[in-house]
């Protein structure tokens, strides 16, 4: 009897609402490495998949935005822990996806893990940076505090399959938003695998939803969707970005335009966190004017 055994190929699925469905269309497309070698079949998401992901993100928004900043930080740190535990798998996937040597891929994975930790530390600090007391004329306290925008559609960078992905997703959820993520079209496998990490990291289902397929096909319904509050166009080319920005204008979405990034490993700053925050201002009388206040 031969000791030879068949390899167990990994089946990649979408990550929507904390579950791992195949595309409702049943379609897949071939994913190849930088040399054209077949790696896997990835789900080819449909407009229905995009709508399902928005429903899941909206359902999760209330509890996630209402969680304490400290609790969100704990969960983001847990994502880093789980990613660290599967480091070797991601090194191999990133190396194949981006045509990198093992050492360079390892550096990308390590940077992605560190990026989760970095944003975990910001969850309970960003409010102090962008909020505060405002000087006003009159016997009032005037305080401003940030609140999450809502459901954010995120087009992941095409060229950075894991580090770029983490760099655009982590700031969205760190501040209490929920996300519908469109993975890199040419290198979606690290993003689809990230769903498995998120599912085992205490992140509530629906906070992050990951779709793979043709970026333009998935992004179009997201940009026009009335229940999507904002969109990050990081993974869109110039022509697609213009088309999506016009579609988003019909329902007053916040739009983060594509920004040239030479090095995703660089200090990201706070811009991607503040891009999807709204400011709530509260007025409260002082002295003997009463105890009631009003918010705008």
Domains of the chain, with CATH numbers?
28-261+271-295 (3.40.605.10)
Question: Are 228 and 153 contacting, i.e. CB atoms less than 8 angstroms apart?
Answer: yes
- C-alpha–C-alpha distance, residues 265 and 108, integer Å: 8
pLDDT of residue 290: 47
Residues in Cβ contact with 41 at an 8 Å cutoff, skipping those fewer than 6 apart: 12, 28, 29, 30, 31
pLDDT of residue 289: 46
Q: Is the dihedral of CA 94, 228, 12, 235 positive or negative?
A: negative
pLDDT of 11-53, one tens digit each? 999 999 999 999 988 999 999 998 899 999 999 999 999 999 9
pLDDT of 181-217, one tens digit each? 999 999 999 999 999 999 999 999 999 999 999 999 9
When pLDDT is averaged across residues 142-153 and rounded to a whole number, the result is 86
Share of the chain above pLDDT 70, in %: 93
Question: Are 53 and 180 contacting, i.e. CB atoms less than 8 angstroms apart?
Answer: yes
Environment class of 178 (CB within 10 Å of its CB; exposed 0-12, middle 13-18, buried 19+): buried
pLDDT of residue 191: 97
Longest pairwise C-alpha distance within the chain: 91
- According to DSSP, residue 19 is labeled B
**Which region among 90-94, 217-221, 287-291 has the lowest average model confidence (pLDDT)?**
287-291
Q: Is the pTM of this model over 0.85?
A: yes
pLDDT of 220-249, one tens digit each? 999 999 999 999 999 999 999 999 999 999
Mean residue pLDDT across the chain = 91
pLDDT of residue 84: 96
Residues in Cβ contact with 255 at an 8 Å cutoff, skipping those fewer than 6 apart: 230, 231, 233, 244, 245, 248, 249
pLDDT of residue 296: 47
When pLDDT is averaged across residues 172-176 and rounded to a whole number, the result is 97
The residue among 188, 170, 278 whose CA lies nearest residue 232 is: 170
**Which region among 46-60, 86-100, 138-152, 179-193 has the lowest average model confidence (pLDDT)?**
138-152
**Which region among 16-25, 144-153, 260-269 has the lowest average model confidence (pLDDT)?**
260-269
- C-alpha–C-alpha distance, residues 2 and 113, integer Å: 41
**Which region among 62-76, 113-127, 218-232, 260-274 has the lowest average model confidence (pLDDT)?**
260-274
When pLDDT is averaged across residues 292-296 and rounded to a whole number, the result is 49
């Amino acid at each position: 009897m031969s000791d030879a055994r068949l390899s167990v190929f990994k089946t990649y699925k979408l990550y929507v609402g904390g579950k791992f469905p195949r595309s409702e269309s049943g379609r897949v497309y071939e994913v190849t490495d930088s040399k054209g070698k077949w790696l896997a079949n990835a789900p080819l998401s449909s407009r229905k998949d995009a709508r399902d992901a928005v429903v899941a993100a909206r359902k999760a928004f209330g509890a996630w935005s209402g969680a304490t900043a400290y609790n969100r930080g704990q969960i983001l740190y847990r994502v880093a822990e789980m990613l660290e535990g599967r480091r070797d798998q991601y090194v191999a996937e990133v190396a194949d996806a981006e045509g990198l040597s093992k050492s360079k891929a390892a550096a990308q994975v390590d940077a992605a893990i560190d990026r989760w930790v970095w944003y975990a530390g910001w969850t309970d600090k960003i409010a102090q940076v962008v909020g505060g007391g405002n000087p006003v004329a009159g016997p009032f306290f005037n305080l401003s505090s940030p609140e999450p925008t809502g459901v954010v559609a995120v087009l992941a960078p095409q060229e950075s399959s894991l580090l770029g992905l983490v760099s655009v997703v982590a700031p969205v959820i760190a501040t209490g938003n929920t996300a519908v993520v469109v993975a890199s079209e040419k290198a979606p496998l690290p993003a689809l695998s990230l769903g498995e990490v998120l599912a085992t990291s205490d992140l509530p289902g629906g906070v992050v939803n990951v779709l793979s397929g043709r970026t333009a096909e998935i992004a179009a319904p997201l940009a026009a969707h009335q229940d999507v509050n904002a969109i990050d166009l990081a993974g869109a080319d110039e022509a697609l970005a213009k088309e999506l920005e016009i579609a988003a204008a019909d329902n007053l979405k916040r739009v983060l335009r594509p920004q040239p990034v030479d090095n995703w490993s660089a200090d990201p700053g706070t811009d991607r966190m503040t891009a999807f925050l709204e400011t709530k201002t509260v007025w409260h009388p002082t002295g003997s004017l009463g105890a009631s206040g009003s918010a705008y």
